[in-house]
A and B are shown apart, each in its own frame.
Chain A
Amino acid sequence: MAYSQSLPMRDDDRPDPPPLISAEVESDVRAKLSATWKEKSGFYGWLTSTNHKSIAKRYVVTAIIFFILGGIEAAMMRAQLSRPENRFIGPDLYNQIFTMHGSTMMFLFAVPVMEAVGLYLVPLMIGTRNVAFPRLNALGYWMYLGGGLLLYGAFFLNTGPDAGWFAYVPLSGPAYSPGKRVDIWAQMITFTEIAALIGAVEIVTTIFKQRAPGMSLNRIPLFVWGQLITAFMIIFALPAIVVSSTMLATDRLIDTHFFNPAEGGDALLWQHLFWFFGHPEVYIIFIPALGMVSSVVETFTQRRIFGYPAMILSMVSTAFLGFGLWVHHMFATPLPQLGQSFFTAASSAISIPSGVQIFCWIATIWSGRPRFTTSFMFVIGFFFLFIIGGLTGVMIASVPYDLQVHDTFFIVAHFHYVLLGGAVFPLFAGFYLWYPKLTGRMLSEKLGKWNFWLFFIGMNITFFPMHILGLMGMPRRVYTYLPEMGWGPLNALSSFGALFIAASALIFLINVFKSLRTGAPAGDNPWNAPTLEWATSSPPPSYNHLFIPVVEGRDPIWDAPAGELSVVTGLRTDRHEGLVTSIMDAIPERRYEFKKETILPFLLAVVAGSWIAVAIFTPWGVTIGGILAFIILACWFWPTISPEHDTEVALKKGKP
């Protein structure tokens, strides 16, 4: 049974040893919380939900659907390139497909899925009932969905963007990309950036102000640290792409000349702005994955991660360095030598924090006792693949070397090793780890092993030959190549490998759907994992933890004395109430009422979404959309402060 015990609040009010919470009280609280936090049912309830778990689950499912679509596009490209002068897809469609593949994977899959996992797990891991701004969170999802629908709707209507996911001007400018294709891309960016920024704000605020009492900064799980650092990176990096995609859109729609060299603009400006976002973007995908690896390693070796401060400092320094190396995407443009050397140094310096983390994980594994579950296998796969990508990364940080392999298949190989190996493998690992928490059922380990081995083998067959192809002179983004170039056999091999990946993805989906019905029941903590999300039932109730737990160590469940977590009592159960704690030491400061579910976020997303989409065709979209959005925002911000809203906490200790 749970105890209500010493709250490390202030020195002068050390409590007496707390009494036991009786079973009756517990069931009473449970009933009240269930009633208060019950989500509305039906379609309307679905539209209005503001519970972080419902929204994050939608986020994850949507992102996986986009991952599959992006994968189908990749398969089509591999089919086209499987032999020289193939006529399966013409250049027009091929350009659209590779643009869609890149844009989907970066904007609609990788960043959203990482944030989605964060939005699901962070409140559970830090012991709070919801994210800080539940309605804003719902808006984020709807905007993201709107962006995805806009992009794919346009693609199926023969208006898919075709200037690459990087949309270099002047090719993406009005003179060389007629029609609305690139406008769709630029506005899709607007949607997803709004969504990503919202997610980041949620995560930062939630982590800073809503941690369970006792979870001081040096007790935050590494996964949550990863999310926090990523959220800060998003906040700093994304404005660059918001600005530049808007400039591109105005260049195209209202004849500004930011990027038009004929009228005094500059084509290189785009590249600087884009990569100032584009490179941190890679770490925005990668750092949450590092957090997942830490969680998996910790859980399946049953050992606390070695070198906790070093791990955090590594992630922080990766984040800082990530902002100082955007120019390594532009070594072939005119640049002074000193500048190039600076960016070479910054780029290869990333290997140090990455190295620190890898060595700490290996040390943890060495000291622990591994269980070779699918989840852990994926992390071992991560080591095998990510290190290859990291080493080629150090190679291409060198300016003269990069000038030879830049924009060739060597780079394609490099970043697929980094992104598939470094982000998708951890994501799979995390999925196998947390699926029981999400659904209450275990995934099949047998299918999981198939999933792992097919993906691992297929990944290597597909992408390793690309290193050699790049060195043999095969540039990227080509829709075909001539037979005499001698690239045929390796391309055929690479396309053959893609079949393994497709099979693996299929097995994964089968596993997910099958286990949803027939998987073994998971119980609260099937893996004996240390973090707070495992201290509640699987799947978690809508209010997360029955009582907000009190944290007494870095691994709350393992460190709890006598195996039982202490809890906070005294929060109101008749409204959506949570606890606000201090940034550094998580000392309780205030009660806080979470906003309830409402249709407003959905309406705002519909209005703002149509506004952004209609603006592609007529400026009236901005005018009318602006007025409608103003009305909705007025409702949204209508002051509704209840008298008790911001009163000092008077937590009762002991029995409620």
Chain B
Amino acid sequence: MTATRDRVQLKASTQSALGVVSVALLGCSGFQSVLDPKGPRAEDVARLHWTFTAIATVVYVIVISALLYALWRASTRKPFIDEHQYHENPDQAAVMKRGVIIAVSATVIIMLAALVMSVSTGSAVATVPDAKPLRIDVVGHQWWWEVVYDDPIPQNVVKTANEIHVPVGRAVLLKMRSTDVIHSFWAPNLAGKKDLIPGHETVTWFRADTAGIYRGQCAEFCGYQHAKMAFYIVAQPRLDFERWLTQQRETAPKPTDSLTQTGERVFLSAPCAMCHSIGGTGAFGNIGPDLTHLASRRTIAAGTLPLTTGNLAGWILDPQSIKPGVKMPPTQLDPQSLQALLAYLGTLK
């Protein structure tokens, strides 16, 4: 028994040690990583990162070697007993002066080179490459992201939350604002940050060159659940994206069986409908995320939990233990109502 536990522990610790090493070695591949770029903006910065790191490493090695050489040289020298006891003698002074001047000139040159690289990358990432980028509105809330695909025809406006679908290979222009405090939009695989500032409208852009799902997260401290204010960017081929958009434009299907009909009634009579809206029903609360296509999303609670029936039930009953301080109140439902509600929410594809 003890032996088994020991072995398990050993295994666990070996694994975690391996984990540390591999993570450190691999650097940072992953779905929320600066060094795994999937779009032109992030690629430029990743290139800049490796260049800077290489230069910095070389500079560090040289300066530290100089320091160590100085220490070694000085401590192996005989003690001075002359009139220069506390001052460098003229020969030394000349060497020191030359050394310092060379080192400072090198610093200036390296600094200017870094500056040129930085400014040129800066202007590259600031230019939107497409003439007609896809425009999406993003609104920051404590602690979730509202995503709006605007359209001149009111019925075609798509509202969703915490999940941004984009076509691969087309630039996306985000128009962002905040309704409460400052948030910051950051999807490291695609682009750097941009703040969402109340009273200002900010704009950023990115382009995903590879299909995939990338995670992003709020990067400006915004209160209790700053840690759990994530979103996903789903980059799809153009046709898939169009299909998704068309499907999102539809209103929620009418419930057909009695269980889901009960569920709809529960939704409308419980506090849910005060804050959430479901297209095609009487629920048009605009405080929480739009739930018209809830079941088509991957996560709930701003990227905190994968969307499963169990997670959804836990979230409805006791959101405060999953995200303490979140604005969603706990809802007390009897088991039948809860089952019906979950079944109904499950139909909102």
Asked if A and B form a direct contact in the complex, defined as CB atoms under 8 angstroms apart, the reply is yes
Partner-B contacts on A (CB < 8 A): 90-92, 95, 163-164, 168, 170-171, 175-176, 261-262, 265-268, 301-304, 306-307, 310, 332-334, 337, 340-341, 344-345, 348-349, 351-352, 355-356, 358-360, 362-363, 365-370, 372, 380, 383-384, 387-388, 391-392, 394-395, 397-408, 465, 468, 470-473, 475-482, 485-486, 488-490, 492-493, 530, 555, 558-559
Query: B244: which A residues are within 8 A, CB to CB?
Result: none
Q: Is the CB of B67 within 8 A of A380?
A: yes
B5 to chain A, nearest CB (A): 19
Closest to A344 in B: B118
The listed residue with most B CB atoms (<10 A of its CB), out of A266, A306, A307, A475, is A475
Question: Closest approach, in angstroms, between the C-beta of B327 and any C-beta of chain A?
Answer: 12
> In the complex, are the beta carbons of A91 and B27 less than 8 A apart?
no
Q: Which residue of B lies closest to A175 (CB)?
A: B180
Q: Per-residue 0/1 for B142-166: is the Cβ within 8 Å of any A Cβ (1 yes, 0 no)?
A: 1000000000000000000000000
Instruction: Please determine whether A387 and B195 come into contact, CB atoms closer than 8 angstroms.
Output: no
Q: Is the CB of B200 within 8 A of A334?
A: yes
Contact among B60, B96, B126, B188 with A363 in the assembled complex (CB-CB below 8 Å):
B96
Instruction: Evaluate contact between A332 and B193: CB separation under 8 angstroms.
Output: yes
Residues of chain B whose beta carbon lies under 8 Å from any beta carbon of chain A: 16, 19-20, 23-24, 27-28, 30, 32-35, 41-42, 44-45, 48-49, 52-53, 56, 59-60, 63-64, 66-67, 69-71, 73-75, 77, 79-80, 85-88, 92-93, 96-97, 99-100, 103-104, 107-108, 111, 114-115, 117-119, 121-126, 142, 180-182, 184, 186, 188, 191-195, 197-200, 202-203, 215, 217-228, 304, 324-325
Contact across chains for A344 and B115 when beta carbons are under 8 A apart: yes
Contacts of B96 in A (CB 8 A): 306-307, 363, 366-367
Complex contact A472–B33 (CB within 8 A): yes
Find chain A residues with CB under 8 A from B111 CB.
348-349, 351-352, 394
Nearest CB in chain A: distance from B142 CB, A: 8
Contact A471 B80 (CB under 8 A): no
A360 lies within 8 A of B100 (CB): yes
Instruction: Decide if B23 touches A95 in the complex (CB within 8 Å).
Output: no
Given contacts A91-B325, A401-B49, contact A471 B107 (CB under 8 A): no
A473 touches B324 (CB 8 A): no
20 A-B pairs within 8 Å (CB atoms) are namely A171-B182, A267-B199, A268-B197, A302-B86, A304-B87, A332-B195, A333-B195, A344-B119, A344-B122, A359-B100, A360-B100, A395-B52, A400-B118, A401-B121, A404-B193, A407-B220, A472-B23, A475-B186, A482-B228, A489-B16
Q: Report the separation of the CA atoms of residues A90 and B331 in the bound assembly, to the nearest whole angstrom.
A: 22
Chain A residues contacting B119 (CB-CB under 8 Å) are: 341, 344
Distance to closest chain A CB from B285 (angstroms): 21
Report Cα–Cα, A306/B33, bound state, in Å.
Answer: 45
Q: Which 9 A-B pairs have the closest CB atoms?
A: A403-B192, A261-B199, A398-B118, A478-B227, A473-B32, A366-B70, A355-B107, A363-B96, A391-B56
By beta carbon, the residue of chain B nearest A354 is B107
CB distance from A90 to the nearest CB of B (A): 5
Inter-chain contact A394/B197, CB cutoff 8 Å: no
Total A-B pairs, Cβ < 8 A: 282
How far does the Cβ of A240 sit from chain B's closest Cβ, in whole Å?
20
Residues of A within 8 A of B227 (CB): 91, 475, 478-481
- How far does the alpha carbon of A340 sit from the alpha carbon of B192 in the complex, in Å? 15
Task: Enumerate chain A residues within 8 angstroms of B35, measured Cβ to Cβ.
Answer: 471
Q: Is the interface of A mostly helix, strand, loop or mixed?
A: helix
- State whether A401 touches B32 (Cβ < 8 A): no
CB-CB < 8 A to B186: which residues of A? 475
| Nearest-Cβ distance from residue B59 to partner chain A, whole angstroms | 6
Specify which chain B residues have a CB less than 8 angstroms from the CB of A403 in the assembled complex: 45, 125, 191-194
Distance A149 CA – B118 CA, assembled complex (angstroms): 45
Contact among B49, B59, B197 with A267 in the assembled complex (CB-CB below 8 Å): B197
The interface residues of chain A lying within 8 Å CB-to-CB of B80 are: 369
The answer to whether B99 and A303 have CB atoms under 8 Å apart is: no
Among A362, A370, A405, A481, contact of B75 (Cβ-Cβ < 8 Å) = A370
Instruction: Flag if A363 contacts B99 (CB, 8 Å).
Output: yes
A341 to chain B minimum Cβ distance, whole angstroms, is: 5
Q: Does B219 contact A407, Cβ atoms closer than 8 Å? A: yes
Nearest Cβ in chain B — how far from A206, in angstroms? 27
B59 — which chain A residues lie within 8 A by C-beta?
391
Residues of B within 8 A of A170 (CB): 180-182, 198
A352 → chain B, closest Cβ, in Å?
6
Query: Which residues from chain B contact A404 at a C-beta distance below 8 Å?
Result: 34, 42, 45, 49, 188, 192-193
The docked-state distance in angstroms from the alpha carbon of A397 to that of B73 is 35
State whether B28 touches A472 (Cβ < 8 A): yes
In whole Å, how far is A641's beta carbon from the nearest beta carbon of chain B? 45
B100 adjacent to A306 (CB under 8 Å): yes
Shortest distance in angstroms between B21's beta carbon and chain A's nearest beta carbon? 9
B107 → chain A, closest Cβ, in Å? 4
- Residues from chain A with a CB closer than 8 A to the CB of B79 are 369
A400 touches B44 (CB 8 A): yes
Q: Considering only CB atoms, which chain A residue lies closest to B32 in the complex?
A: A473
Q: Which residues of chain A have C-beta atoms less than 8 A from B117's C-beta?
A: 398
Q: How long is the Cα–Cα vector from A487 to B24 in the complex, in angstroms?
A: 11
Are A490 and B23 CB-contacts (below 8 A) given A370-B75, A400-B48, A404-B188? Answer: yes
Which chain B residues border A175 with CB–CB below 8 Å? Answer: 180
Across-interface contacts of A388 in B (CB, < 8 A): 60
Q: Within 8 Å CB of B191, what residues of A?
A: 403
Do A482 and B226 have beta carbons less than 8 Å apart? no
- Chain B residues with CB under 8 Å of A333's CB are 195, 197, 200, 202
A92 to B77, CA, bound (A): 59
Evaluate contact between A398 and B60: CB separation under 8 angstroms.
Answer: no
> Which residues of A are found within 8 Å of B42, using beta-carbon distances?
404
Cβ-defined partner of A473 (8 Å) among B34, B70, B199, B223:
B34
With the chains together, A48 CA to B44 CA distance in Å? Answer: 62
Within 8 Å by CB of A168, from B92, B220, B324, lies B220
- Give Cα distance in the complex from A268 to B16, angstroms: 43
User: Among the listed B60, B199, B217, which residue makes an inter-chain contact with A391, where contact means beta carbons less than 8 Å apart?
Assistant: B60
Given contacts A91-B325, A367-B88, A473-B188, contact A356 B74 (CB under 8 A): no
Given contacts A369-B80, A471-B28, A473-B32, contact A401 B52 (CB under 8 A): yes
Chain B residues whose CB sits within 8 angstroms of the CB of A265 once the complex forms? 199
Asked whether, in the complex, the Cβ of B100 is within 8 Å of the Cβ of A356, the reply is yes
Whether the pair B192, A472 counts as a contact (CB closer than 8 A) is no
